[in-house]
Amino acid sequence: MTREFTVPEGLKPKMSNIKSVYADGLCMGCGTCAGMCPSNAIMMIVDQKQGVYRPVIDSNKCTGCGYCYKICPGHSVDFEELNKFSTGRQPQSSILGSYLGCFNGCSMDNELCYVSSSGGLVTQLLICALEKGIIEGALVTSADKDNPLRPRSFIARTKEEIISAAGAKYCPVPVNVMLKEIRNAQPGLKFAVVGLPCQIQGIRKAELINDELKKKIVLHLGIFCTHGINFRGTRAALKRMGIKEKQVESLRYRFGDFPPGKTLIKFNGVEKVVDHLEFWNLLLTRRVNAIPDRCRLCIDQTAELADISVGSGWFAYKANKQINRSVGLIRNIVGKTFMQQISSANRIDVLPSNPEALELFEEKHRGDKKCRYRYLLFFLKLSGRKYPVYQSRFLKSKIKFDFKMSIEALKNYLRLFLFRKKHA
């Protein structure tokens, strides 16, 4: 007969927290750990060398419960389980994920169209949700006038606050730190969230084990993302324009008629407006490695786990020369019901789009992240490096050898591990 031995409380090994995730180069800086830690033991700070956010754990507060590790999308994402959780089925497309419908659209408010990135679809959807009483607040990200190069996320509770957050911020933002406010809000209050694919992954992982959070977040708006830009990129772009970081009074990454939109930098009392594409090319200067390392390991292009995903309108423009229109994917019954609920408000101009054409467009212009990752995985495994563990049926099927993809993967691998500055 065997007897179970009970480890005395004080001798129990601590469960893993997310300390190793950053050290292993797997952190995406989403902030989910900081927003959800039951002991408030985690905060996000900027790693100046890498130009991204990183979590820091207060060891006096950490109880070693392992909650942060469980919900962290940095080390692993089970897309099969989370797709079932969020859409009730498995995705039909490697690039687009699971969808019920595809459209392109924009706000019918011209002023709002102008202040947003590509038609103001996201902002208008949130305003409709608020005005219809579907939500009491929305997790959004706006510029911070006290710290112009570090946008801040907050819960917007009025139309004006939602509009103040319009426009993409092409830099790291630990959006999910604000989940703390949603967690602490009164039971029964309902919220929408807006996030990049990695941020939505964190939210879904947290909802999977936190029923209260799941009940409070009634609408997930995801935004497409090929990669982020680290703060080194912003610094380099400003430098090439002859502007020092400390001179900057405000930076609007993208607004105006799309495509391509404009970028506005206010410094030393002077306003400088440049074509957005010109600024984007300055951001992406190769010499400073402006793409966060972790983005090279990301396999989600279209925020697959959102209820509705929105991307910039290059597709609508290239297909039909339509300006100021974003493209949208309705993924599940939540997204579909929401679009029906707000249709009578007549605030959004919506036209149906062809998902197959969108898929081809994304593949041609941005590539298939999952396919790219599979090639990269070969090199990562060969060298025994740490990599995120993903469950997705699109990573399982056999692939044919492709010379160009192998060279691209090798280059990515070299950029990641030979030339990178070590994560402290």
Ligand X SMILES: Cc1cc2nc3c(=O)[nH]c(=O)nc-3n(C[C@H](O)[C@H](O)[C@H](O)COP(=O)(O)OP(=O)(O)OC[C@H]3O[C@@H](n4cnc5c(N)ncnc54)[C@H](O)[C@@H]3O)c2cc1C
**Residues making contact with ligand SF4 (CB under 6 A):** 18, 21-22, 27-33, 55, 72-74, 196-198, 202, 225, 227-228, 292, 294-295, 298, 300
Which residue is it, tokens 């929408």? 192
Least distance from ligand SF4 to the Cβ atom of residue 379, Å: 19
Least distance from ligand SF4 to the Cβ atom of residue 388, Å: 9
From ligand X, ligand SF4, none, interface partner of 117 (C-beta below 5 to 8 A by class): ligand X
Q: Is the bond into 259 cis (omega within 30 degrees of 0)?
A: yes
- Residue with smaller CB distance to ligand SF4, 38 or 352: 38
16 burial via Cβ count (<10 Å: 0-12, 13-18, 19+): middle
Among candidate residues 282, 297, 301, the one with its CA nearest the CA of residue 416: 297
Give the other-Cβ count within 10 Å of 356's Cβ. Answer: 11
Pull the structure tokens for residue 174. 């630990």
Q: Name the CA radius of gyration of the chain, rounded.
A: 21
Which residue is it, tokens 């008629």? 257
Give yes or no for a contact between 210 and 180, defined as CB atoms under 8 angstroms apart.
Answer: no
- Residue with smaller CB distance to ligand SF4, 176 or 263: 176
Give yes or no for a contact between 104 and 95, defined as CB atoms under 8 angstroms apart.
Answer: no
Is 101 in a helix, a strand, or coil? strand
How remote is the C-alpha of 43 from its chain's centroid? 19
From ligand SF4, ligand X, none, interface partner of 55 (C-beta below 5 to 8 A by class): ligand SF4
Q: What's the rounded Cα separation, in Å, for the pair 200 and 192?
A: 11
Give yes or no for a contact between 358 and 327, defined as CB atoms under 8 angstroms apart.
Answer: yes
Least distance from ligand SF4 to the Cβ atom of residue 295, Å: 3
From ligand SF4, ligand X, none, interface partner of 87 (C-beta below 5 to 8 A by class): none
Least distance from ligand X to the Cβ atom of residue 140, Å: 3
From ligand X, ligand SF4, none, interface partner of 348 (C-beta below 5 to 8 A by class): none
Least distance from ligand X to the Cβ atom of residue 380, Å: 23
Least distance from ligand X to the Cβ atom of residue 217, Å: 15
Q: Name residue 155's beta-bridge partners.
A: 139
From ligand X, ligand SF4, none, interface partner of 409 (C-beta below 5 to 8 A by class): none
Helices (H), 6-120: 19-23, 32-36, 67-71, 79-87, 110-115
Least distance from ligand X to the Cβ atom of residue 265, Å: 17
Least distance from ligand X to the Cβ atom of residue 94, Å: 16
- Residue with smaller CB distance to ligand X, 150 or 266: 150
Pull the structure tokens for residue 70. 């469980």
Which residue is it, tokens 């029923």? 211
From ligand SF4, ligand X, none, interface partner of 21 (C-beta below 5 to 8 A by class): ligand SF4
- Residue with smaller CB distance to ligand SF4, 190 or 227: 227
Give yes or no for a contact between 66 and 15, defined as CB atoms under 8 angstroms apart.
Answer: yes
Which residue is it, tokens 């400088």? 272
Q: What's the rounded Cα separation, in Å, for the pair 309 and 10?
A: 47
- Residue with smaller CB distance to ligand X, 57 or 177: 177
From ligand SF4, ligand X, none, interface partner of 30 (C-beta below 5 to 8 A by class): ligand SF4
From ligand X, ligand SF4, none, interface partner of 413 (C-beta below 5 to 8 A by class): none
Pull the structure tokens for residue 81. 């389980």
Among candidate residues 110, 197, 138, the one with its CA nearest the CA of residue 338: 138
Residues that bind ligand X in the complex, under the rule CB under 6 A = 116-123, 140-141, 165-170, 173, 175, 194-196, 223-226, 228, 310-312, 326, 366
Least distance from ligand X to the Cβ atom of residue 345, Å: 16
- Residue with smaller CB distance to ligand X, 41 or 91: 91
From ligand X, ligand SF4, none, interface partner of 202 (C-beta below 5 to 8 A by class): ligand SF4
Among candidate residues 76, 390, 329, 32, the one with its CA nearest the CA of residue 202: 32
From ligand X, ligand SF4, none, interface partner of 294 (C-beta below 5 to 8 A by class): ligand SF4
Least distance from ligand SF4 to the Cβ atom of residue 322, Å: 25
- Residue with smaller CB distance to ligand SF4, 178 or 225: 225
- Residue with smaller CB distance to ligand SF4, 136 or 293: 293
